[in-house]
Amino acid sequence: MKTSSEKPGLFAASFAAVARAIASAVGLVRTHPWLSATSVVGFCAVIAVCTLALTLERPPLHVVQTGFRGTGMQAVFNDHDLLAEARLQHADAPLPAVQLAGRPASEVYKNVKVLGAVDANEFLRLMAAMTQWVAPATGCAFCHSLNNMADDSSYNKIVARRMLQMTADINRDWKAHVGEGGVTCQTCHRGETIPSGAWFVQPAPYGTRGLTEADSGQNIVSPVAGLTSLPYDPLTPFLLQANPIRVTPTSALPSGGVRPSINQTDWTYALMIHFSDSLGVNCTFCHNTRAFEEWDQSTPHRVTAWHGISMVRAINRTYMNSLVGVFPRAMRGPLGDEAKVSCDSCHAGAYKPFFGASTLSAYPALSQVSQDWTPPAAPGGAAP
Ligand code: HEC
Ligand code: HEC
Ligand code: HEC
Ligand code: HEC
């Protein structure tokens, strides 16, 4: 709100500044005969060229065709951006294989609830990998009290146990989205304890009152919607709740699954900007923009994305939500809810996480996770 009311002022100020500069240039040429009109024009030309050079995108650009010829369905990539991106999209080489112990972890360790069936040596190799993926800075102590590895008092250990179940579930049940390559902890965490794109339900920013009370969740610059004034929290209705995303009626009196209104279209567009941002692509990666709703004119990527929407809802409702009592207050959102996953959590700006590279097959333990454990309402000993 503040920004939009400031805009006209800013515009007037810059207009006045330009007018003053022109007036003083004209004045200068009159009073200083040695300053020719040509040199002033030349100076302005240099400024104009510099401005253009800084504003336009630096070549080379690459255009990848994503639909039929002539439909303008193209993704534009800039080599410099891709190079910068490549550093973030780098999957660690798998840790060296270990000699199997021949005994499951459940026989060797005291308190294994989900990895009991894993070979004891493979178990430790996974611990080392998890440390590298999630908490390289803190090490084992991020989840363990080092004098008793069986102790469960760190909430991070409880969260990690649930994350193991979640990762196994994604790889087993959501192949329609993640393919055979699947995901590891690194797909989301990438060396950080909090993955990119983790989000909370957003409260209305400032109490709108009286006539302006219904702000429809918009008219505030929203980072998740690409710094537009579209609704500032499109993730709650679509990636947590299962509200219909479609807005284009296919019959005269639409019902069920379609919510045709300008207001609803704003919400859908805000979500779509999140998709595009998260994947580093434009709308034509998935749609033929002459008819957003038509599936037979869309690319196969849109079908993958459709499965992705259901997957993210399931992750958030089944796994993230079960941790609400485990996360301490300081790790929860302004309304006391747990952190949630978005498209950006795995994609981090690329059309495929790690541009399609996968190390899942090097960690067979990630597919041997037991689902027979549910997180407690609050971690043992830790204050909620
Ligand atoms: C991201 C959290 C996390 C990190 C980091 C981590 N662990 Fe673990 N660790 C766990 C979880 C979760 C379990 C319990 C697994 C289960 O219940 O099946 C566990 C269990 C163990 C156990 C079994 C203890 C017992 O007797 O029950 C050992 C040993 C262990 N970890 C070693 C390590 C070592 C060594 C490191 C550092 C290289 C490490 N862990 C880093 C989460 C972590
Ligand atoms: C689909 C994405 C995703 C995957 C895959 C994933 N995580 Fe997470 N993880 C999250 C999100 C989101 C959070 C919540 C971050 C926050 O608290 O803001 C989180 C939080 C955590 C935390 C608590 C961090 C803190 O400071 O509160 C631990 C520990 C953790 N994950 C371990 C793991 C381990 C171990 C794996 C692999 C077995 C894994 N995660 C896989 C998304 C993921
Ligand atoms: C990664 C793929 C992807 C990208 C990129 C994407 N969309 Fe979508 N879009 C979808 C999917 C999937 C649906 C359908 C969701 C459903 O049916 O529940 C959809 C639905 C829509 C709809 C509603 C269609 C209807 O049936 O009423 C509109 C409008 C739309 N997108 C606009 C956009 C715009 C504008 C952009 C660019 C800012 C964009 N999309 C980018 C995947 C994508
Ligand atoms: C749990 C991690 C994860 C999350 C969350 C996730 N994706 Fe994906 N996505 C993947 C993986 C892994 C692939 C690669 C699959 C493959 O190689 O076949 C992928 C592939 C895709 C593709 C196909 C790209 C191509 O070039 O074929 C699209 C489109 C896509 N995701 C959209 C989305 C959207 C939209 C969301 C949010 C609603 C989302 N994804 C959330 C992991 C994820």
Ligand 1 pocket, 351 CB below 6 A?
no
pLDDT tens-digit profile, the chain (384 residues) = 333 334 445 556 666 777 787 777 677 777 776 777 788 788 889 998 888 888 787 888 888 898 888 888 998 888 888 888 888 899 999 999 999 999 999 999 999 999 999 999 999 999 999 999 999 999 999 999 999 999 999 999 999 999 999 999 999 999 999 999 999 999 999 999 999 999 999 887 665 566 656 667 777 788 888 888 888 899 999 999 999 999 998 778 777 778 888 889 999 999 999 999 999 999 999 999 999 999 999 999 999 999 999 999 999 999 999 999 999 999 999 999 999 999 999 999 999 999 999 999 999 999 999 999 999 886 544 443
- 127 with 110: CB under 8 angstroms? no
Q: According to the model, what pLDDT value does residue 82 have? A: 86
Q: Is the pTM of this model over 0.75?
A: yes
Short-list 49, 39, 41, CA closest to 22 = 41
- Separation of alpha carbons 351 and 300, rounded Å: 13
CB atoms within 10 A of CB 27: 10
For residue 135, give the ligand nearest its CA: 1
Distances in whole angstroms, Cα of residue 285 to Cα of each of 129, 291, 330, 352? 34, 14, 38, 12
Question: Ligand 2 centroid vs 8 CA: distance in angstroms?
Answer: 44
CB atoms within 10 A of CB 162: 19
Q: Closest Cα to atom 38, ligand 4: which residue?
A: 309
- Separation of alpha carbons 69 and 350, rounded Å: 24
Ligand 3 pocket, 225 CB below 6 A?
no
For residue 301, give the ligand nearest its CA: 4
* Residues whose beta carbon lies within 6 Å of some atom of ligand 2: 130, 134, 143, 156, 159-160, 163-164, 167, 183, 185, 187-189, 193-195, 198, 315, 331, 339, 341, 345-346
Domains of the chain and CATH, by start:
61-90+197-208+217-347 (1.10.468.10)
Ligand 1 pocket, 156 CB below 6 A?
yes
Probe target for ligand 2 pocket from 92, 161, 162, 189, with the most ligand atoms within 8 Å of CB: 189
Q: Closest Cα to atom 1, ligand 4: which residue?
A: 346
